[in-house]
Amino acid sequence: MKRLIFNIVLFLVVITCPWWVSVIFGLFILYYLKSYNELIIFGLVMDIYYGNFSQNFSILEYKFTLIFLILIVSSFFIKKRLRF
Amino acid sequence: MNYLLKSSSHNEKKKSTKRKILVAIIILVIFTVTLISDFGKQSLFSLASPIWKLKSIFANSHLAEYFKTKKFLIDEKIMLEQKLFKIGDLIAVNENLYNENNTLKDLLDRKETKTDTILGTILVKPPQTPYDILTIDVGENYNIKIGNKVVASANVYIGEVSEVYNQTSKVKLYSSPGTKLSVALGINAVSVDAIGIGGGNFNIFLPREVEVKEGDVIVTPSITANIFGIVEKVNFKDQDSFQTILFKSPVNIAELNFVEVILSN
């Protein structure tokens, strides 16, 4: 239930707040919940809403997806060393 | 001899973790493919569009105006009256020159063609978007096409439509980082490439010999006078053979609420 509420709130934050607020809020949820792999989907959503795509496909154009992917992977290692 | 049996619960736990990871990856791939597809994008924009419209209605309703003090309003009125007095003169001169310009064009058989435009409300704008992208509330339903030019304040070109959805479109501003556009600089109309650097700002690299000063007007090359920017700063070092000209669009994107999309290019 908590996860679902976070998902809805994060989606609302993504579509109403500046991009950096979404990134900070996403980061907060990532460390608040045990695992929050859905964050990568929100990265993709942010790229679709706010991305600047050219005619040729390039993975580097999906900047938010890549940022969130890096944050999720790094959180696996950081969480092991942190005590909540 | 008795041996300790391997714990079956441990194996099951390992298996279940692997199964969970596999399911998560499959779900992720399905989501990604769905979202990247045209249907996924259309659905996402349809989902967000009502919320953006509601936000835009609140933003344009000027609710804060109801809470201003009487003194503040009087001061603001005086300031605006002074500003209007100064601008009144300029408007009269501008109208006179505009009419004269049109008469001269008529004499030379170069009549201005009226362009077909559609007004769009800005739903999302910087700083919500990081790359100088606007989302407007007109899309396929108003015959908007990719590449349609977008103007603000009647004749300032600000960008082009880059993506079109059912009821919304994305506009890539010319000031988006790395975007190049041919412009004419100053009274001599020197043809140069302006490069977007974000936030409504641009720069131009020019040889030092070309004389440029702050306040010079930059226009988009066309028969009509379309102001594109005003020179803010000219940077160079004594030993440099080139100068960097920084300029910004006369339109402040952050304060903009409406734009016009030119349907006939």
Residue B153: CA count within 13 A, CB half-sphere: 14
Per-residue pLDDT of chain B in tens (265 residues, 90 and over written 9): 666 666 666 677 777 778 877 887 888 788 777 777 788 888 888 888 889 888 888 877 777 777 778 888 888 899 999 888 888 878 888 888 888 887 888 788 776 666 788 999 999 988 888 888 899 999 999 989 998 989 887 778 889 998 898 889 999 999 888 888 888 887 778 888 899 888 888 999 888 888 888 888 888 877 666 788 888 888 888 788 888 889 888 888 888 888 999 887 5
Q: How far is A58 from chain B (nearest CA, A)?
A: 13
Confidence of residue A12 (pLDDT cuts 50, 70, 90): very high
Q: Is B53 left (phi over 0), alpha (psi -120 to 50) or beta?
A: alpha
CB contact under 8 A, B135 and A49: yes
Q: CB neighbours of B175 closer than 8 A, spacing ≥ 6?
A: B132, B158, B159, B196, B197, B198, B199, B200, B201, B202, B248, B249, B253
Distances (CA, A) of B65 to A30, B61, B70, B235, B252: 39, 9, 11, 41, 21
Q: State whether the Cα torsion B41-B44-B48-B49 is positive or negative.
A: positive
- Of A24, A19, A25, A37, nearest in space to A75 by CA: A37
pLDDT of residue B176: 87
CB contact under 8 A, B130 and A19: yes
pLDDT of residue B99: 80
Residues of chain B with C-beta less than 8 angstroms from the C-beta of A54: none
pLDDT of residue A84: 56
Coil, strand or helix at B244: strand
Question: Where is B199: in which H helix or E strand?
Answer: none
pLDDT of residue B76: 87
Q: Is the pLDDT of residue A9 over 90?
A: yes
CB contact under 8 A, B128 and A45: no
Residues of chain B with C-beta less than 8 angstroms from the C-beta of A50: 124, 128-131, 133
Residues of chain B with C-beta less than 8 angstroms from the C-beta of A37: 24, 28
CB contact under 8 A, B35 and A41: yes
Residues of chain A with C-beta less than 8 angstroms from the C-beta of B132: 52
Segment B124-170, tens digit of pLDDT: 988 888 888 899 999 999 989 998 989 887 778 889 998 898 889 99
C-alpha B86/C-alpha A54 separation (Å) is: 45
Instruction: Judge contact between A12 and A21, C-beta under 8 A.
Output: no
Segment A14-67, tens digit of pLDDT: 999 888 999 999 999 988 888 888 888 899 899 889 887 777 777 778 888 899
pLDDT of residue A8: 92
Least CB-CB distance to A17: which of B24, B128, B133? B128
pLDDT of residue B161: 92
Using only C-alpha atoms, chain B has a radius of gyration, in whole angstroms, of 27
CB contact under 8 A, B31 and A44: yes
Q: How far is B189 from chain A (nearest CA, A)?
A: 30
Residues of chain A with C-beta less than 8 angstroms from the C-beta of B254: none
Least CB-CB distance to B51: which of A16, A44, A51? A16
Coil, strand or helix at B6: coil
Per-residue H/E/C for B131-195: CCEEEECCCHHHCCCCCCEEEECCCEEEEEEEEECCCCEEEEECCCCCCEEEEEECCCCEEEEEE
C-alpha B54/C-alpha B60 separation (Å) is: 10
Q: How far is A78 from chain B (nearest CA, A)?
A: 20
Q: How far is B198 from chain A (nearest CA, A)?
A: 12
User: Which residues in chain A (41-60) have CB-CB distances under 8 A to chain B?
Assistant: 41, 44-45, 48-53
CB contact under 8 A, B52 and A15: yes
Least CB-CB distance to A16: which of B31, B55, B132? B55
ipTM of the complex: 0.83
- Of B60, B173, B67, nearest in space to B127 by CA: B173
